[in-house]
Structure 1
Amino acid sequence: MYQTAFFASFASLVLGQQIGTYTAEKHPSMPMQVCTAPGSCTTENTEVVLDANWRWTHIIDGYTNCYSGTAWNATACPDGATCASNCAIDGADYSSTYGITTPSSGALKLQFVTKNDNGQNVGSRVYLMAGEDKYRMFNLLNKEFTFDVDVSKLPCGLNGAVYFSEMLEDGGLRQHEGNKAGAKYGTGYCDSQCPQDIKFIDGEANVEGWGGEGGDSGTGKYGICCAEMDIWEANMDATAYTPHVCKVGEPTRCEGVDCGAGDGERYESLCDKDGCDFNSFRLGDQEFYGPEKTVDTTKPFTIVTQFATDDGTDTGNLKSIHRFYVQDGQVIPNSETVVEGVDPTNFIDEKFCEQQKTAFGDNNYYGKLGGMAAMGKSLEKMVLVLSIWDDHAVSMNWLDSTFPADADPSKPGVARGRCDPEAGLPATVEAAHPDAYVVYSNIKFGAINSTFAAN
């Protein structure tokens, strides 16, 4: 993802590390299938858990918030370690508070704006669980990952994202003494943007240097970095899939230039924030994806992503990442590139990344940090993330509009989609489309060509 999601629009939805007892934590069921060949699949009784950054945090044995508006409670949180000791994270009312529901077995619906007793919640992020207190870990090498999606109610400016993050299996419970909640309560998030709006990192509150403006939830001195594989970032009008690599091989706290947030520091970060993206519109096929296009976003469809290795084994080096769609019983190959300087192709590999970066005049930080080989190492230990979010940094223009917004859209790589740059302003999209939602369903994982019917 280009930027981390804006987390919550009311003060009580923040992260804590002790465990509260006011609301029981009950994970919604979202079973998946593991396949060895077409039609040969077994069901795993997986669940989802809400990210801790959305949750109510309060003083232990009390209702006083540890965080309000964009500020920490100075009494409870004079420093990071003390705050972690004083504050408890509670269970979540998934449906009423966050608009997270399971309309059918194996399906998950994420509502964009949900009115509730505290005001309203905006967006959400959940992780797939293998049990009550462990994330479901994936080794994606020599495998394919498949799911169904309905983006018909997801307008410009929103992002329904399905991706993998190099998080720890237990959410950092064992590694960080200050973390008492662990994966059961959705702790331990990291991604390639090295997000600094995470309230607790490595078991301590991100209190130092914390500040926020307007509707933003605030940021602190520290960020948390790790590799990320964006399987699906999309709305009705645009989509991209993007590998992001890092210098580090596990969740790593950053500060200063390592976070890459300052002027001129983006390409000095621990992680490659741009990634090597495959966006059909940006790559020259503007009729491939969208309402009544080749992949018709007014109707549900299936997304297949394959991770091919150089020797065809689960321990080989990542060679290429392939994409297929299935809609109305038809398998639709990914679009081919139509860009001067980029060989016609419909998948991501090292050559594509190098040519695309050159053609668009972009910094190939992806290649500098190890490219496909580095991505492959990270793909051995990934956690599945499903989310819906709007973008307080650049209004999702990087996905579905002109980016940078003041650039000439006729310049190669600038036009990412058909959307008006103003459509993604958070205030605009939250007011105009509070009823937006995305539905993910029918997750399958297994051997290449085992999870869908190829023709």
Structure 2
Amino acid sequence: MTWQTCTSGGSCTTNQGSVVMNANWRWVHQVGSTTNCYTGNTWDTSICSTDATCATECAVDGADYESTYEVTTSGSQLRLNFVTENSNGANVGSRLYMLADNTHYEMFKLLNQEFTFDVDVSNLPCGLNGALYFVTMDEDGGVSKYANNKAGAQYGFIQGQANVEGWTPSSNNKNTGLGNHGSCCAELDIWESNSISQALTPHPCDTATETMCTGDACGGTYSSDRYAGTCDPDGCDFNPYRMGNTTFYGPGKTINTNSPFTVVTQFITDDGTDTGTLSEIRRYYVQNGVTYAQPNSDISGITGNAINADYCTAENTVFDGPGTFAKHGGLSAMSEAMSTGMVLVMSLWDDYYADMLWLDSTYPTNASSSTPGAVRGSCSTDSGVPATIESASPNSYVIYSNIKVGPIGSTFSGGSSSGSSGSTSTSTKTSTTSTKTTTTATSTSTAVAQHYGQCGGQGWTGPTTCASPYTCTVQNAYYSQCL
């Protein structure tokens, strides 16, 4: 599939990329034969007695993506279908990584950049998650690091090992289970979504690169202590519905999920350079020629519409107690991971652990609707059961397309703009500037923005004057900077 790299002048160059299926979805068989190493949700221990032995005795095969997984590409478009009946039974969901070539992942460095894509979630009901995100992984898939890893970026296991030792088949999923090993890596969830709800969530880790973990020390969903690992499992999320904006996103709402739209995410650094430290993550949406800023939080104690240190502290305090975002380095740790380059992942999945209620319903399910942060979407707490979705909505799908990356303001043309409340206003956009006539907030602050600080833009309520000798310079309609 194709994607584009843009320049500050607005011109974009098309790149020819490709995507590769995660090894968990592939046929694993004995080397030199067609004997399965893994059938259903169980390993054949006569072949796979240890993690290392399994990695040398078994091979991970290629596949026909369309007939096996119903994964298709066309130009810049990637379509992932939910349930696919094939000669081996039924495949459910998929997870794909972008490759630069057959042996290397495409490594995206997003500091002081923006990342833009189009998405169609109109056929994703409650309980499904069409996710687009970035993770830290070895560029070559670990071939140069791990002797047992002969497959690398196209097919590889975790650090060249299988996950046989300590394996427990899932009690409610005929295809999966849990082993002793996990992979801890920073994850930048640009987009977790269905037609009802969506969230933007950075998850920092103590280390910038991927590490293998063992047992409960992995933390996360399936550990006895969710917070025992070296990464933040909850992250610092911005879900407009969870932030009290219940009319912004969904079928027939401001961002109407019955139709495709564009998602723009900007990664602002403290000094306005590609080598600076991540200080803020901003979000815009474009639909039918209208640009919408992320709506401001409507939750008492949480302000603003961007992810920054103050927002994350407030969100953890109001929703989750202390949280572990800051403990694991917060945006600084996320910045370190981003500086190494991250791999783009696109997926479609259902949730056998929590029925995706954490994304689109009330969660925990016994929480009062008046509990801050508990209501994340309008789906019923009885929704999202995988067996039900797989039976009732097998033809669900998500489409990602028109992926672009470049300097702030280079990857999209906003057309007319709207206020952060979602109400449309009139505006005029030229190649670099925009005139807003009705809903732009006016700052009453007497503060002065410092060098590289923001000093204006749609919805900006902070300082509009720069410290001497710097000048407030318009980068685009949504961001002006002291330069």
TM-score over 0.5 (shorter chain): yes
- Asked whether the 8 Å contact 1:160–1:387 carries over to 2, the reply is yes
Please list, as runs of the form range in 1=range in 2, the aligned pairs for 1:273-288 lying within 5 A after superposition.
273-288=233-248
Residues 135 and 183 of structure 1 are in contact (CA less than 8 Å); yes or no, is this contact kept in structure 2? yes
Q: 2:92 aligns with which of 122, 142, 146?
A: 122
Superposition pairs of residues 238-317 of structure 1, within 5 angstroms:
238-261=197-220, 265-317=225-277
Q: CA deviation at 1:269?
A: 1.2
Q: Is the 8 A contact 1:76 1:83 kept in 2?
A: yes
- Higher gyration radius (CA): 2
Identify the match of residue 425 of structure 1 among 382, 385, 406.
385
Deviations 1:141-188 (A, max 9, x none): 000000000000010000000000001111111111111011123x3x
State the alpha-carbon separation in 1 of the partners of residues 385 and 103 from structure 2: 37
Separation (CA, whole Å) in 1 of partners of 2:266 and 2:150: 36
Letter in 2 for 1:400: D
Residues 1:300 and 1:270: Cα distance change in structure 2 (over 3 Å): same
1:41-99 Cα distance to aligned partner (Å, 9 max, x none): 00111111111111101111111100112211111111111111110111110000011
CA distance in 1: counterparts of 2:14 and 2:296, whole angstroms: 34
Aligned to 1:376: 335
1:220 aligns with 2:179: yes
> Are residues 1:109 and 2:66 paired?
no
Q: Distance in 2 between matches of 1:171 and 1:322?
A: 30
Of residues 38, 47, 50 in structure 1, which corresponds to 2:18?
A: 47
Paired with 2:14 and 2:223, the residues of 1 have a C-alpha distance of 48
2:172/2:352 contact within 8 Å kept = no
Give the match's secondary structure for 2:104.
Answer: coil
2:116 and 2:264 in contact (8 A); partners too: yes
1:58 lines up with 2:29 in the alignment: yes
Whole-angstrom CA distance in 1 between matches of 2:26 and 2:275: 38
Partner of 2:8: 37
Q: CA deviation at 1:256?
A: 3.2
Indicate the residue corresponding to 2:163 in structure 1.
Answer: 206
User: Partners of 2:395 and 2:182 in 1: how far apart?
Assistant: 32
Q: Secondary structure at the match of 1:205?
A: coil
Partner residue in 2 for 1:164: 134
Whether the 8 Å CA contact 2:215–2:223 is kept in 1: the answer is no
Q: Is residue 288 of structure 2 the alignment partner of residue 328 of structure 1? A: yes
Q: Give me the whole-angstrom Cα distance separating, in 1, the residues matched to 2:42 and 2:320.
A: 40
- CA distance in structure 2 between the aligned counterparts of 1:283 and 1:435, rounded to whole angstroms: 31
Amino acid at match of 1:202: Q
Q: Is the 8 A contact 1:38 1:452 kept in 2?
A: no
Instruction: Tell me the distance in 1 between the aligned counterparts of 2:140 and 2:217.
Output: 25
Distance across 2 between alignment mates of 1:256 and 1:206: 11
1:251 deviates by: 1.2
Decide whether the 8 Å contact of 2:166 with 2:179 is kept in 1: yes
- The runs of 5 or more residues in structure 2 that have no matched partner are 415-428, 430-483
The amino acid that maps onto 1:339 is: I
Q: Deviations over 1:325-375 (max 9, x none)?
A: 0000111111110011112x1110000000111111434200111111111
Q: 1:191: which partner in 2?
A: none
Q: Deviations over 1:15-63 (max 9, x none)?
A: xxxxxxxxxxxxxxx1100000354000111111111111101111111
Question: Unpaired runs of 5+ in structure 1?
Answer: 1-29, 188-199
Residue of structure 2 equivalent to 1:359: 318
The 5 Å alignment of 1:153-192 reads 153-185=123-155, 187=156
Deviations 1:385-440 (A, max 9, x none): 00000001100010000111111122110000000122101111111100000000
Letter in structure 2 aligned against 1:209: G
Q: Distance in 1 between matches of 2:114 and 2:264?
A: 7
Tell me the alpha carbon deviations over residues 103-157 of structure 1, each in whole angstroms, 9 at most, x when there is no partner.
Answer: x311000000001000110000001111111100011100000000000001000
Q: Tell me if structure 2 keeps the 8 A contact 1:38–1:453.
A: no
Separation (CA, whole Å) in 2 of partners of 1:296 and 1:362: 33
Which position in structure 2 is the counterpart of 1:16? none
Cα distance in 2 for partners of 1:67, 1:105 equals 35
Question: What is aligned with 1:13?
Answer: none
Alignment of 1:23-102 (within 5 A): 30-37=1-8, 39-102=10-73
Contact between 2:216 and 2:224, CA under 8 Å: does it hold in 1? no
Contact kept? 1:135, 1:383, Cα under 8 Å = yes
Partner SS, residue 369 of structure 1: coil
Alpha-carbon shift at residue 295 of structure 1 (Å): 0.4
Distance 1:333 1:435 in 2: 32
Q: Could you list the per-position Cα deviations for residues 281-310 of structure 1 after superposition, in whole angstroms to 9, with x for gaps in the alignment?
A: 000100000001110000000000000001
Distance in 1 (alpha carbons) for counterparts of 2:322 and 2:38:
38
Query: 2: distance between equivalents of 1:263 and 1:374?
Result: 23
Residue in 1 aligned with 2:417? none
Distance 1:175 1:242, change over 3 A: same
In the other structure, the counterpart of 2:120 is 150
Letter paired with 1:355:
A
RMSD: 1.2
